[in-house]
Structures are given as C-alpha cells and as structure tokens.
Amino acid sequence: MNFREAETLVKETLDDIKNHKIELRQDCVACHVIFSLKQNSGRSEQDAADLLSEILTHDPTLNSEFIEVVEQIHMKERNMGGAFAMRERESKDSYLETYFSNVLDELTSDLRFATHDVILRKLLLSYLALYLAQTIGVDYHAATEEMYYLLRRDDAKNSKIARLIARFEEKVKKTDSGLS
C-alpha cells in the first residue's frame, strides 16, 4: 500500500466512522484508523501509527477532519467518565489495578527496548495529554489526539519539547557528575 492509497483509506475510514457506518462502541477513533491501516497495509501497529501521523501532517485539511471526528465521537457523543463512576467500588478497584499494572509493564518494556530520550518524550507527551484531558474535560484519547493535532500543525511545539528534554538531560548529567 503506497502513501496515496493509505491516505484514501484514512479518509474513507473517517467518513465511515463519522457517518456511523462503522460502530466503534467504546473504541477509540484514532486506534480504529490505525488498526485499519495495519490490517490493510500489512504494517506493524507502530508503523501504521507513524504512517497515520505522516498522512495527517502532510494534509492539514485531513488533519482537521480527523480531529473533528475524534471530537464528535469522544466528546460530543460519549461521556466515558460517567460509565466508570457508575461502577461498584470493587469493579473500579479491579479496573484501576489492571491498568496501573499495564502502564508499569509498558514502561518496563520501554526501558529494555527504547532509548532514554524516547521514554522521556513519551512520558512528557502523556503528561501533556493528561493535563489537556483534565482542563478541557475530555477523555484521555481525545486529549491525546487534540495534542497530536496541535503538534502536527505547529512544528515549533515539537522543537520546544526537544529543547525541554535536552535541558532535562543536561540537568541529570550535572546531578550525576556531582555524585561521582
């Protein structure tokens, strides 16, 4: 699957989601688009996510359409926080325990296979998305997509993140050299 075919698939998938030809239930819009790319292109999930980001960065109009569909589904049509609040305490605790463990397992895996700057960027972006979710009152997936939308529109934001990571790494180096 070439770039143009992938771009067409993204457009068609978004239209199908927006027009409810695809029923997501409680699934994420972005995840569904990524899995569609993965399935149709034979790429890995990470490569499909990278391809989606490249497509959306390349086409600002599609980027805008993408975020509109995310907002429609995640913000206007859903109230995911309410479903969690309605659970019994035991169910909530089980849910929290499971996802807490999943996050730690993922970070442990990252420590084995990714460089420190990749892990630091991931943690920073997660923090930013969480902050957005809290301040604008949406679920995490929607906030993450809003943040990525912003990063795709304005490369200066990526430069700011890179500078912050560099400053953090410099501070760690100074602290480590002071302990030696």
On whether both 73 and 99 belong to a single domain, the answer is no
On whether both 14 and 73 belong to a single domain, the answer is yes
Domain boundary (78, 102, 125) is at 78
**pTM exceeding 0.95:** no
Residue 9 lies in domain: 1-78
On whether both 19 and 68 belong to a single domain, the answer is yes
Number of folded domains that form the chain: 3
**Per-residue model confidence as pLDDT tens digits over 45-92:** 889 998 999 999 999 999 989 988 888 887 778 765 556 656 787 888
On whether both 122 and 176 belong to a single domain, the answer is yes
Q: Running DSSP on this structure, what letter comes out for residue 26?
A: T
Cα dihedral: 72, 16, 149, 110 (round 10): 110
Question: pLDDT under 50 in the chain at which residues?
Answer: none
Q: How far is CA 70 from CA 108, 121, 138, 145, 175, in A?
A: 30, 23, 11, 7, 42
Domain boundary (24, 52, 78) is at 78
- Greatest Cα pair distance in the chain: 62
